[in-house]
Amino acid sequence: EFPAALLPLAGLEELYLSRNQLTSVPSLISGLGRLLTLWLDNNRIRYLPDSIVELTGLEELVLQGNQIAVLPDNFGQLSRVGLWKIKDNPLIQPPYEVCMKGIPYIAAYQKELAHSQPAVQPRLKLLLMGHKAAGKTLLCHCLTEERVEGCPGGGDKEKCYPPSPPPVSKGIEVTSWTADASRGLRFIVYDLAGDESYEVIQPFFLSPGALYVLVVNLATYEPRRFSTTVGSFLHRVGARVPHAVVCIVGTHADLCGERELEEKCLDIHRQIALQEKHDAEGLSRLAQVVDEALARDFELRSASPHAAYYGVSDKNLRRRKAHFQYLLNHRLQILSPVLPVSCRDPRHLQRLRDKLLSVAEHREIFPNLHRVLPRSWQVLEELHFQPPQAQRLWLSWWDSARLGLQAGLTEDRLQSALSYLHESGKLLYFEDSPALKEHVFHNLTRLIDILNVFFQRD
C-alpha cells in the first residue's frame, strides 16, 4: 500500500518509492503540490489517478516497470518534467511510441485525440521465419487462404481440395490476412525467405510489437541441426527485438510417426531451454566483468592496456551494465510447446489459427491491437497509398511530412504516426538509422520485388 503518512507532507519535494510492490497511487497525492521528484518505478501500479496531472511542478517522473496501460487525460500539463521514464509498461493509450518520446508528444497526441474521431483498427504484424524448405510459404498459403491440401481421414470434405503442387517461394512476400472478420482483426504476414543470402536484410523487417512464428520442418529435423534450424533464428530475433513473442511451429507433421513427432518436439523444447540458460549465464558473466571494472578506480583501469575495459569511463561502463541487465530482464517470450502442423489436416491449421488469435488477444503482450487511433493517423496511412505517391518506390521524410499536414499532423506528431505504421507492418521507417531515417518505404510490393531480384539465387 502507498504510505498514507506521506500524504499530509505538503512541503515534500522528493519522493522515492521504487521497488515497493505498490499496486495503486492515491488521488490525494495531488496534495503534495511542491513535489519535484517522484520515482514509482518497478512496482505493480496498474493506473495513475487523474489528480496526478495537478503536480505541475514535477521535474522528474519515473514510472518504468509497472503495469500502466492508460495515462490520465491532460497529462501534458506536466510540462516541466525533464527526467521521464515509462518503458516496460503495457501502454495502450497514448501508444507506446508516443509515450517514449516524452511529455510534449503525449500532450500533442491527447490534444489531437480530443479534437478528432478516434477509431480502433486492430492490425498485427506477423513474421514467418525459418530455414530454407521449412515450409513457410505453404503454411502462409494455407493459413491465409484457409485452404487445406488433401483430405485426410476425418477432414471436412467441403474445406478440402485435391493435392496441388506446393507454392514456390519467391523470396520475401507480404500478405494481408483477415483472421477475425467479426472484429476486423488483420495480420500483415511477412513470409521471410530462409535462404542464407537473405540473412543480411532480414533484420530490417524485424520490429517490436510483432508476433514471430519460427517454422521448423519436423520431417528433416535432427538434434545436431538445432543451431541452424532453430537456435540461430532465436538469436537473431533476440538481438534485434528483446522480449519478442515467438511461437514455434513444426511443419510436415504428417510425415512423422507419433513417437518420432513427440521426440523431435521435446528435443527442440529441451535445446531451446539449454540455449536460453547458456545465453543468460553469458550475459551475467559480462555484467560481472563490468562490475569488477567499476570497482576499480578509472585511473587504475587506465594504467594498464591489459586491464578489462581499459580507458573506458565509468559513465560508459554503467551504460553497458544497464544494457546487459536489460537483455537479461527481457529474454524472448517463447511459447511452448512446439505446435506440430500438417497443411493436409484442417484441424491442425484451425488449431494454429486459434493459437495465433489467442496470443494476439493478450492486451499486455500486444497493446497495438487494442489502442484507439487518432483519425489523422488513418488519413496519413491512406494518403501514402493514393496516387501519385503510391507509384513511387519510397518517399522522402519531407514528402511524408507534407502528407502529414494534409492529414492534420504537424511535424512533431508525424514521427509517432510513422513509427506506428512501421510497427504494424504497413510500411518501413527506420527512425533510428542515420542512413535511412530520411526515407519512408511505403511501396512494400515494389521494394520487396527489387530485393528478391538482388538476393534470390538461381
CATH code (residue 11)? 3.80.10.10
> Based on the domain organization, do 19 and 132 belong to the same domain?
no
Query: Strand pairing of 185-191 and 123-130?
Result: parallel
The SS3 assignment for 8 reads coil
Q: Which spans in 310-455 are helix H?
A: 314-329, 346-360, 375-384, 397-407, 411-423, 444-455
> Based on the domain organization, do 355 and 380 belong to the same domain?
no
The CATH number for 446's domain is 1.10.10.10
- State yes or no: cis peptide before 388, omega within 30 of 0: yes
Q: Which residues contact 273 (CB under 8 A, 6 or more apart)?
A: none
Place of cell 535511412: 436
- pLDDT tens figures, 248-259: 999 999 999 999
363 in a structural domain: yes
Q: Which pLDDT score, from 0 to 100, does residue 432 have? A: 86
Q: Which pLDDT score, from 0 to 100, does residue 155 have? A: 47
- pLDDT tens figures, 213-244: 999 999 999 999 999 999 999 999 999 999 99
113 in a structural domain: no
> Based on the domain organization, do 233 and 264 belong to the same domain?
yes
> Based on the domain organization, do 154 and 266 belong to the same domain?
yes
> Based on the domain organization, do 352 and 448 belong to the same domain?
no
Name the DSSP class of 6.
G
Q: Which pLDDT score, from 0 to 100, does residue 153 have? A: 46
Query: Strand pairing of 83-85 and 14-16?
Result: unpaired
The SS3 assignment for 395 reads strand
178, 186 in Cβ contact below 8 A?
yes
- Count other C-beta atoms under 10 Å from residue 390's C-beta: 11
398 in a structural domain: yes
Q: At which of 89, 112, 136 does a domain end? A: 89
294: left (phi over 0), alpha (psi -120 to 50) or beta: alpha
18 in a structural domain: yes
- State yes or no: cis peptide before 8, omega within 30 of 0: no
Distance in angstroms (rounded) separating the CA atoms of residues 268 and 225? 10
Low-confidence ranges of the chain (pLDDT < 70): 116-121, 146-168, 457-458
Q: Which pLDDT score, from 0 to 100, does residue 145 have? A: 80
Percentage of residues of the chain with pLDDT beyond 90: 58
Q: Which pLDDT score, from 0 to 100, does residue 236 have? A: 95
> Based on the domain organization, do 429 and 348 belong to the same domain?
no
> Based on the domain organization, do 197 and 338 belong to the same domain?
yes
Name the DSSP class of 391.
G
The SS3 assignment for 217 reads strand
133, 220 in Cβ contact below 8 A?
yes
- Amino acid, single-letter form, for residue 252: H
- What are the phi and psi torsion angles at 448 (to 5°)? -70, -35
Query: Strand pairing of 439-440 and 395-396?
Result: antiparallel
> Based on the domain organization, do 445 and 355 belong to the same domain?
no
297 in a structural domain: no
96 in a structural domain: no
28, three cell numbers: 490525494
176, 188 in Cβ contact below 8 A?
yes
74 in a structural domain: yes
247, 335 in Cβ contact below 8 A?
yes
Average pLDDT, the chain: 88
Cα dihedral 194, 199, 204, 207 sign = positive
Give the count of alpha carbons within 13 A of 27, CB side only.
Answer: 4
What residue ranges in 195-298 does DSSP mark as E strands? 211-217, 245-251
Q: Which pLDDT score, from 0 to 100, does residue 30 have? A: 92
Q: Which pLDDT score, from 0 to 100, does residue 90 have? A: 85
> Based on the domain organization, do 10 and 84 belong to the same domain?
yes
> Based on the domain organization, do 385 and 437 belong to the same domain?
yes
Of residues 49, 98, 42, 47, the one with CA closest to residue 70? 47
> Based on the domain organization, do 185 and 250 belong to the same domain?
yes
Q: Which pLDDT score, from 0 to 100, does residue 122 have? A: 77
Structural domain boundaries enclosing 393: 374-455
Give the DSSP H or E segment for 220: none
112 in a structural domain: no
- pLDDT tens figures, 412-427: 778 888 988 998 899 9
The CATH number for 147's domain is 3.40.50.300
Query: Strand pairing of 160-161 and 148-149?
Result: parallel
393, three cell numbers: 518506390
> Based on the domain organization, do 273 and 360 belong to the same domain?
yes
Residue 294 to residues 70, 176, 302, 320: CA-CA distances in angstroms? 38, 50, 12, 11
How many independent structural domains does the chain possess? 3
- Count other C-beta atoms under 10 Å from residue 187's C-beta: 25
